[in-house]
Each structure stands twice: as structure tokens, then as C-alpha cells.
Structure 1
């Protein structure tokens, strides 16, 4: 590659999760001190750390070739970028976050139209303005620098639009969710000019492939067990797999080694059933990537 790919890593709550995801994908990103340009074990990539809220603007302008940021901030900045891949991961859970409208439990506001003439505090200002404008509801939207939930509690706003994954912070402030504004997840985005560069495009596609593989591997585990010939057909019929389980005969016996890949959330139910059906020596192991 003539010039390294300039890749943006989101600063803040997603930073550690992003670096961990890259590590599972094969890239070591080393952030030292206050440096905004971390080292990476790939001579074809140069990393820069910037706020997720600003990432799409830098990618749009070409300051960065590619970066990871939320679908919400792409919409907020109305950035013209190419979305390469949806990557559902976060600091808390492997599910999309939600921007929601919340009000106090005792609020007289029961539905969106009740916000006519009211004040909303949020960091997602432009998107929120457009959302209510499209519904012909006149609201005053003010930017919140943080602690948005407290704006309602202290009477500085009538409602908030805030991002949540578990809803715990919203509930802890005595608020209730009235409406979901949008779902968001992390996206790998690229500048249109960089996407037309064959070498950079190939590198970006490599990153997308392995990040996606690491996320898929996180939700799956491998299972390996010994099964007698008498129980083999019944055991195999119980096993979900990507294609079909691998079955290999054990040396000079009528037993077999059976190996498969299953979703991690079914293992606790599956293993007891396998044991009762005749499987022995069951081994569960994590998967780094599934491509």
C-alpha cells in the first residue's frame, strides 16, 4: 500500500471495547498516555483517536480514510460516508443501543404531541429537531453537555432524549421512557474517495471481515465430546452446527469424537441433555473468530 490507511478509533466509552474487538481480530492497538495516535501492529494502518460524535465528519472530509462510530452520530452530522459494515457491540452489551425520550414518572406528558412548546435536553440536537419537525410538533431542543437525566430532575428541561442500553440510569433518576427515537449501533465507515482506492478498499474489507468474524465468534463456542456408536445418531440429531458436526472414529474402539459449534447461550441447557443421552468427556472452548 502506497500510503497507510488512516483509521479512526472512537474515544470514550467505546474505546476499550473497540480495542478489545481489534485484538480478537488480530490487531494489537497500544494506547499510551495522552497520545491520540496509538501504535498498531500493522504497517498498513495508522490509527487516530477521536470522539465518536466527530468521527463521521473527519471521515467525510477525508482527514480520516475510515473509522468506527455510531449510526446515531452519522445521522446527527448528516455525513456523506460509505457504511462498510454494521458492528453490533458496545461497552455494556452485544445489542443495539436506543435513543429514547424520557420524562419524570409523575409528568403530565403522556405522548409525543404533549411536548408541544416544551423543552428537551439532549446531545443529539439536530436529529431530535428533525424528528419532531417531521411530526409537526414544535419543541425547543437544547444541547446537553452531560448528566442529561439531571436536567429534568432539576427542572431545566421537560424531557430528555438520551441513549441507553439497559435503562438503569434512566430509572435511577426517576424517569420513564415515553418513546423510542432510534436504534443505533457501531458502524465501520469509509470516505468515498478512499473506498475507490483499490488498495485501501482491500484493507478496509479485510478489517470488516475479521471484525465481523470476531463478533460472530464471541457468540459461539466449540463443543467436543466422545460418543458411543449406539448413541451416535441420537447425539448428532441433538447438535446444532454451522453445517454439520464433525465425527471421527476413536482408535480401535466403537466410539467416536464429535465436534461442533453452537451458540453460547444454549450450552447450559444442551450439555446436561448430551450427558443423559450418552455423551462423555464434553469439552467446551471459546472461539476467537468465525469467518
Structure 2
């Protein structure tokens, strides 16, 4: 039913891991194969291509849905429907930022401090041109084919680059003076396919699975028992997404379970034990679907 295109390159590993966790494993003959399959009746075909190309191909109807970045949707000017953000990137759950960076010893603190004629290197010619024009700075903008941060100061005065943590820019001795846009990975759909009720339903079901995995990341299910005398004290220190589930036990007392942040477990479990909880059990979660 759906022709799907997934990103090759920096987002590839994280995307394939997400689909696998969503019970939509991507099968291909090798890691360099650009054609793949997903054993699911909602998905007819899978291609793996560079994210720069994906918005255009989806807009043209070559694919029904694709995963790319908002940066490439904006750069290509593609007319697509957004099915929503997927909050993951190359290495973290943080969004990427498209930034303007200059040499660390530069006096410039923002783009408006840069002189007319400033030399700019970037992969994003369209977005960069528009941004500098909006800031009233005349710039000599040239296409970079990679290693953009290495071109300061002899080839360029500043660069426009995407960053997740800023580590690579700092390592190159650069500093960020402006942020052009911030975005997560995004699922985009062809407008005609999105208007088809059957395809739209399939898209929404796939998004439910993907978002369910992302919502579960960093969370665990905590189960415990507690007697009547300690119930209120335990519930007072037990965090939850909404409210804990409390069920009576046949022998008296209660079984309690709650979804909590994994990063808080080291503090919550001792506090629950001190409040009177027993038989505590921490369990991993595959998906959370509200």
C-alpha cells in the first residue's frame, strides 16, 4: 500500500533501530542495499536514499511517505504534508540546529556583525541566502561539499552548518553566533497519498507504532505491593505519567504499578522501600500508546 523512503547516512542507524523496535523491521540483503522490505501489509516497498533528496521525491509522488529533516524540506521548498516529528537524531533525542559559526576569536556575536561581502560556505544555499537577506547582510555564499567547518578562515569567513551537540564545531575552533532553525527528524507525506483515506489510515497506524517506541524510551514500569497501612505513604512518593494503577490483592493489601522516568529509579526505589513498599519490580517498556 505505502511506498516508503528512509534516510541513508547519519540518520540511517537510528531510523532502522526505531523501525525494528516498532515491530516494523527493515529487511535488506546488505548494509549497502538501497532497496528493502518490511513484512507488513501496510507497506508495499522501501527505499533507502539520502535525506537531501527525500522531500522532493515525496512531493513528486515517487513515494507516499519519507523520513527526512525539516532542514531539507525547507531547503528544497517541497510541498509535503507533515505527519509529525520523531524526536530522535543521529546520536541523541535532541533536535538538530542549523547554525551560523565563525572563528572562535572573531569579534562577531551575531550575523548582523558580519560585513557585507562576507564569505559563507554551506550545503544549504537557499536557506542561507534567505537568512542573510533577512538580516540585511550581503553575503558571498558558496556550496560546500563537506568538511565545511574546516574552511575557516582561509576559504570562508563563516559557515552555515547543522549540529546536534556542537562538539564538531567547537573541536574546529568555531563559535556559534546565530541559529537559523531547529528541528527534529520528520515524517512527510505526499499530499495526494495523504488525501487517500486508506493510505492516510495506514500512515497514521505506522506513526502510532513509531511514536509508541519513542514515548517509551527513557521510561520503565515499576510494580510493587503495599499493605493498607502504608498505601498512602507509598503513593505520595510514587511518580507516574497520569496516576498509578492500584489493584486489591486477594490476601489483603494492594498491587501498584506506574510508569516512571528511568533516570529517577535510583532515587524512587529506595524512597518507596522506606515508605513501606515490598516486592518491587522494575520492567522495561517497548511502547507506550496513550
- After superposition, give the CA deviation of every residue in 1:183-228 in whole Å (9 maximum; x if it has no partner): 0111111001101111111111111111111110113211011222
- Counterpart residue number, 2:19: 22
Measure, in 2, the Cα distance between the counterparts of 1:96 and 1:14. Answer: 12
1:255 matches 2:228 = no
3-state SS of paired residue (1:133): helix
Measure, in 2, the Cα distance between the counterparts of 1:189 and 1:49. Answer: 15
Query: Please, which moves more after superposition, 72-81 or 238-247?
Result: 238-247
- Counterpart residue number, 2:105: 106
- Counterpart residue number, 1:124: 124
Q: Would you say the 8 A contact 2:111–2:135 is kept in 1?
A: no
2:4 pairs with one of 4, 7, 30: 7
Query: Please, which moves more after superposition, 129-138 or 235-244?
Result: 235-244
Measure, in 2, the Cα distance between the counterparts of 1:114 and 1:142. Answer: 20
Structure 1 portions without partners, runs of 5+: none
Q: Would you say the 8 A contact 2:123–2:161 is kept in 1?
A: yes
- Counterpart residue number, 1:199: 198
Measure, in 2, the Cα distance between the counterparts of 1:285 and 1:170. Answer: 39
- Counterpart residue number, 1:273: 271
Measure, in 2, the Cα distance between the counterparts of 1:138 and 1:284. Answer: 58
Q: Would you say the 8 A contact 2:233–2:276 is kept in 1?
A: no
Q: How does 1:93-242 map to 2 (within 5 A)?
A: 93-115=92-114, 116-153=116-153, 155-242=154-241
Question: What is the CA-CA distance between 1:241 and the residue it aligns to?
Answer: 2.1
Question: What is the CA-CA distance between 1:267 and the residue it aligns to?
Answer: 2.2
Measure, in 1, the Cα distance between the counterparts of 2:258 and 2:4. Answer: 36
Measure, in 1, the Cα distance between the counterparts of 2:257 and 2:267. Answer: 17
Q: How does 1:12-51 map to 2 (within 5 A)?
A: 12-33=9-30, 34-45=32-43, 46-51=45-50
Please provide the CA RMSD for this pair: 1.5
Relative to the length of structure 2, the TM-score reads: 0.94
- After superposition, give the CA deviation of every residue in 1:9-40 in whole Å (9 maximum; x if it has no partner): 01111111111111121201023223211121
- After superposition, give the CA deviation of every residue in 1:31-78 in whole Å (9 maximum; x if it has no partner): 322321112111431111111111000000011111011011100001
Question: What is the CA-CA distance between 1:109 and the residue it aligns to?
Answer: 2.5
Measure, in 2, the Cα distance between the counterparts of 1:32 and 1:142. Answer: 38
Query: Please, which moves more after superposition, 266-275 or 22-31?
Result: 266-275
Q: Would you say the 8 A contact 2:121–2:143 is kept in 1?
A: yes
- After superposition, give the CA deviation of every residue in 1:80-103 in whole Å (9 maximum; x if it has no partner): 000011111112111211111111
3-state SS of paired residue (1:38): strand
Runs of 4+ aligned residues of structure 1 deviating over 3 Å after TM superposition are: none
Relative to the length of structure 1, the TM-score reads: 0.94
Distance 1:243 1:108, change over 3 A: closer
- Counterpart residue number, 1:76: 75
- Counterpart residue number, 2:84: 85
Question: What is the CA-CA distance between 1:110 and the residue it aligns to?
Answer: 2.9
Measure, in 2, the Cα distance between the counterparts of 1:172 and 1:61. Answer: 39
Question: What is the CA-CA distance between 1:239 and the residue it aligns to?
Answer: 2.0
Question: What is the CA-CA distance between 1:285 and the residue it aligns to?
Answer: 1.4
Q: Would you say the 8 A contact 2:4–2:47 is kept in 1?
A: yes
